[in-house]
Chain A
């Protein structure tokens, strides 16, 4: 069986390798560093008897001011050889617990391919996620994504819970309307411009320094 534990920084290269063995959405090492240095408690791994990382979850907090604070699953994968033992479920439960406890997330969101029945089953049945919306052409190959959410009841008031439900129903209504208006066809055309937000999220300063100017010069220019 496997050991399920919080990731250590020495696991990151192996996590990247496992990701490259499981999923078409891949990230450079820096993005793993970024997660580990921002939300270290949201990275969990499954390690087998030989010390190999056979599964991982990479998660983060969406810290955009506009949105209420929530968690997001950037990537979850388990090697084919280690399926059917509930590894993914255990990884998810661990990261979700820390998300709610440490970062006081209202809910956790994730994207899943519409065609990925196994993953959809895990999220909707085992982990009780609900479909919040459908994102057309979310993936690089043009496939749609379910935008799914799981609310952490301990961190939301009843009013807020109702608001989130209304939001979801709104999304559904809008989608229906859009579909009816034939918007879908138009969206198809835009597909190429939709990129995986997770991969492009740099999140950290680019390292470009501000050059200093002596105080006198600044004053003179004013």
Chain B
């Protein structure tokens, strides 16, 4: 050690104090101690580093890194300096760099337990399983008496693929827990839990490796396994895979007897056992999710159905007659008169109780569990299940007395909704609402009314209805949220904020609180609402907020790496690690990423961020070319007009609310001062980022985490086609191909295909003409027709009026899905290509079908 790195005795003592101040978070005292040492030994590396570390904790990262670097330069041979440098990197979430520093520190002090432990946390965070396993090995060698070291070591071996060593380590751990305690201070109960969890973990590894020992081991641990539910399911699974069907049947029956009668996974297991399935069919049966069982989600032979009917009718029904699952599964299995009777019994009970979800429950029997949207209304109406439901429900609507008849009619309302007959649904719904005495019970009916109005294109009307329902039950957050959502759909942002604010903690700033509570659904809706208003910066701000939640979710795991080893809940922990690897493959994040990319595409299409004045989406026209200039001016006029309308609306609402506002206002006042200042409330700075770079960043993340989602490839193609360079044509074509693989009928994928042609030097007319022929057959939906119209104009394959006809001539007949949205988009498309005549005709056609529709 060089001379200037040695401290005098007094300073040495002070350095220990400095350490203690840091550990006990007494930062001011720590700084003082550091300064005193530095007065005497200004070049003392470790003190300089510690000073930096403390500054980092005090939220001064720039100053901090300066001190740390200076300290490290003074004393490169100190493990403390390297450790501190690693800690600062870690707190900046630069994990790879932090790991490098720790490793450097360990080169100097190879058996430093604290640094080894810290390194192991980083390694698992970075999914360096091999490195983690080695580090835990070193730790275990150093302290084999600490039993938790064996747990972490076992996990490291498991994760890095050495399952044999993992099992041996678990055995060592279990052997050490003989005196019913793990560490001093633990209770016998905690030891029992640890033994149970670790035994089940061991069995999980045995099952993963398809070891023959899995079943004998499971039987061995029967008495120590506290988690009976998992124990039984594991047993059933093994018995199925080894073909011991009678035993498997018994096992799943035992699970039902435990009170797990509504767990469809147990039913799926039972059915596999009864049918004696093996191989692919067994794997498929056990992988079923939701309300799916073999009875409704797979093709069965007549003999198989008979076996299942026998099981459900003669074994389960007598025992669990009240179970909804048993009843529902029986309905899907039975035929003829028996089916009708079973359905009738199921429906009758629910009607008597006034179960609001009966309608969607029954309709899901028609459409399977994949939802109603993908089946056409026509196919629904023609299906035998639908007609049976209709027969049974109609019967009750006519014969039941009191509320029962009303709820039966309510089911019929939902049937009409699915068939797309909104007017009839609405008038029958009015009848129901009249008939219900209790206003609170009416909330569900009114919500449905709002929903149907929305489907009919009358979002403003939907808002009114929901707001009324909300006022009937002010304590119900569900109806409050629903109202908020519709207000956002209607573009009434301020009122939406106020409404949802009735349920947030800090009434003065609902939006901040919703961000803190990671309320993604609201932020996504809010972002979309802002998009529709043309306030792209504010929209982007919200999409980025949702993206931030997912970054935080990923960050959250850090604190659990150590915790779970102590808790011994390794089974859950490992599933969390797997979840975290692809947490971005969640619909919320995908929507946020699509939103972010669309915002930056807007920037690219509108001449870059330079002109984005006032965060209001004003475009710098001077930078644009002729055609784009015209477009921008048009958009600008539209935007201003909209803005003025909005202002007037808000003004009116404000006046209305002022009276009510007073009584709510008081509580909010006190908390206002806590608000953090947002330096970029309108997202201006976000919009000014490198748009192409941001697009690429999010597309790459989507490709990595969600390659099976069509949005990924649509976005990839939309971004690529706006870029320049030799790779573009290939990229667009690849994106189009990948999107078509996922959904061959998707209109966005088709558009990308045409763009691929154009980008590779063609004119794209051939593709368009082919699709025009298909449209001519008269079975193409509105979305595709709109897309063909756009591309026909884009490529010059058709004149605008001819192109417009593609949309208009096909009519606005129901095609499933959110029809109104498609109708509106088609109108926008007609406007965009400039076919005024076609637009007029289209409006007339739609007026016929959507009498209440408001453009």
Which positions in A face B, CB cutoff 8 Å? Answer: 1-6, 8-10, 13, 16-17, 20-24, 26-30, 33-34, 36-38, 40-41, 47-51, 69, 79-85, 90, 93-94, 97-98, 101-104, 115-116, 140, 204-214, 217-218, 220-221
CB of B567 within 8 A of CB of A209, answer no
Q: How far is the CA of A205 from the CA of B272 in the complex (A)?
A: 44
Given contacts A3-B291, A116-B475, 11 further A-B contacts (CB under 8 A): A1-B361, A5-B260, A5-B264, A17-B521, A28-B517, A36-B576, A47-B290, A81-B478, A82-B357, A85-B350, A208-B25
Partner of A6, one of B17, B87, B229, B579: B229
Q: Which residue of B lies closest to A202 (CB)?
A: B559
Q: How far is the CA of A159 from the CA of B84 in the complex (A)?
A: 55
Collect the chain B residues with CB atoms within 8 Å of residue A214's CB.
79-80, 109
Known contacts A49-B369, A69-B189, A205-B559, A38 near B476 by CB under 8 Å: no
Of residues 577 through 598 on chain B, the ones whose CB sits less than 8 Å from some CB of chain A are 579, 586, 588
Give, as a whole number of angstroms, the nearest-CB distance from A79 to chain B.
6
CB of A211 within 8 A of CB of B16, answer no
Indicate whether B697 reaches chain A with its CB closer than 8 angstroms.
no
Partner of B290, one of A40, A50, A205, A211: A50
Collect the chain B residues with CB atoms within 8 Å of residue A13's CB.
553, 586, 588
Known contacts A97-B259, A98-B229, A218-B16, A212 near B113 by CB under 8 Å: yes
Give, as a whole number of angstroms, the nearest-CB distance from B341 to chain A.
18
CB of A29 within 8 A of CB of B552, answer yes
Of residues 227 through 274 on chain B, the ones whose CB sits less than 8 Å from some CB of chain A are 227-230, 258-260, 262-265
Known contacts A1-B324, A41-B227, A104 near B189 by CB under 8 Å: yes
Partner of A220, one of B12, B83, B476: B12
Of residues 767 through 808 on chain B, the ones whose CB sits less than 8 Å from some CB of chain A are none
Indicate whether B41 reaches chain A with its CB closer than 8 angstroms.
no
Partner of A85, one of B115, B355, B369: B355
CB of B571 within 8 A of CB of A41, answer no
CB of A207 within 8 A of CB of B559, answer yes
CB of B227 within 8 A of CB of A102, answer yes
By Cβ-Cβ distance, the 7 closest A-B pairs, closest first, are A221-B16, A212-B114, A49-B364, A4-B262, A80-B478, A1-B324, A26-B517
CB of B477 within 8 A of CB of A24, answer yes
Known contacts A38-B569, A211-B23, A214-B80, A4 near B263 by CB under 8 Å: yes
Collect the chain B residues with CB atoms within 8 Å of residue A84's CB.
353-356
Number of A-B pairs whose CB atoms are under 8 Å?
206
Q: Which residue of B lies closest to A17 (CB)?
A: B521
Give, as a whole number of angstroms, the nearest-CB distance from B299 to chain A.
19
Q: Mark B290-324, 1 if CB is under 8 A from A, else 0.
A: 11000000000000000000000000000000001
Indicate whether B549 reaches chain A with its CB closer than 8 angstroms.
yes
CB of A102 within 8 A of CB of B193, answer yes
CB of A213 within 8 A of CB of B478, answer no
Collect the chain B residues with CB atoms within 8 Å of residue A205's CB.
559, 562-563
Partner of B567, one of A37, A83, A207: A37
CB of A211 within 8 A of CB of B19, answer yes
Collect the chain A residues with CB atoms within 8 Å of residue B228's CB.
101
CB of B572 within 8 A of CB of A36, answer yes
Give, as a whole number of angstroms, the nearest-CB distance from B227 to chain A.
6
Give, as a whole number of angstroms, the nearest-CB distance from A101 to chain B.
6
Indicate whether B226 reaches chain A with its CB closer than 8 angstroms.
yes
Q: Which residue of B lies closest to A84 (CB)?
A: B355
Collect the chain B residues with CB atoms within 8 Å of residue A29's CB.
518, 549, 552-553, 556
Q: Which residue of B lies closest to A35 (CB)?
A: B572
Q: Which residue of A lies closest to B115 (CB)?
A: A212
Partner of A204, one of B230, B263, B443, B559: B559
Give, as a whole number of angstroms, the nearest-CB distance from B606 to chain A.
34
Q: How far is the CA of A136 from the CA of B289 in the complex (A)?
A: 44
Give, as a whole number of angstroms, the nearest-CB distance from A25 to chain B.
9
CB of B226 within 8 A of CB of A50, answer no
Partner of B357, one of A30, A81, A220: A81
Partner of B262, one of A30, A33, A90: A90
Indicate whether B497 reaches chain A with its CB closer than 8 angstroms.
no
Q: How far is the CA of A217 from the CA of B83 in the complex (A)?
A: 16
Known contacts A98-B229, A104-B189, A80 near B114 by CB under 8 Å: no
21 residue pairs from A and B, CB less than 8 Å apart = A3-B291, A6-B229, A10-B579, A20-B517, A20-B521, A24-B477, A24-B505, A40-B569, A47-B290, A48-B290, A49-B291, A49-B361, A79-B478, A80-B444, A97-B258, A102-B193, A116-B475, A204-B560, A207-B558, A211-B87, A220-B16
Indicate whether B490 reaches chain A with its CB closer than 8 angstroms.
no
Partner of A5, one of B263, B324, B558, B569: B263
Q: Which residue of B lies closest to A10 (CB)?
A: B579
Collect the chain B residues with CB atoms within 8 Å of residue A22's CB.
477-478
Give, as a whole number of angstroms, the nearest-CB distance from A52 to chain B.
9
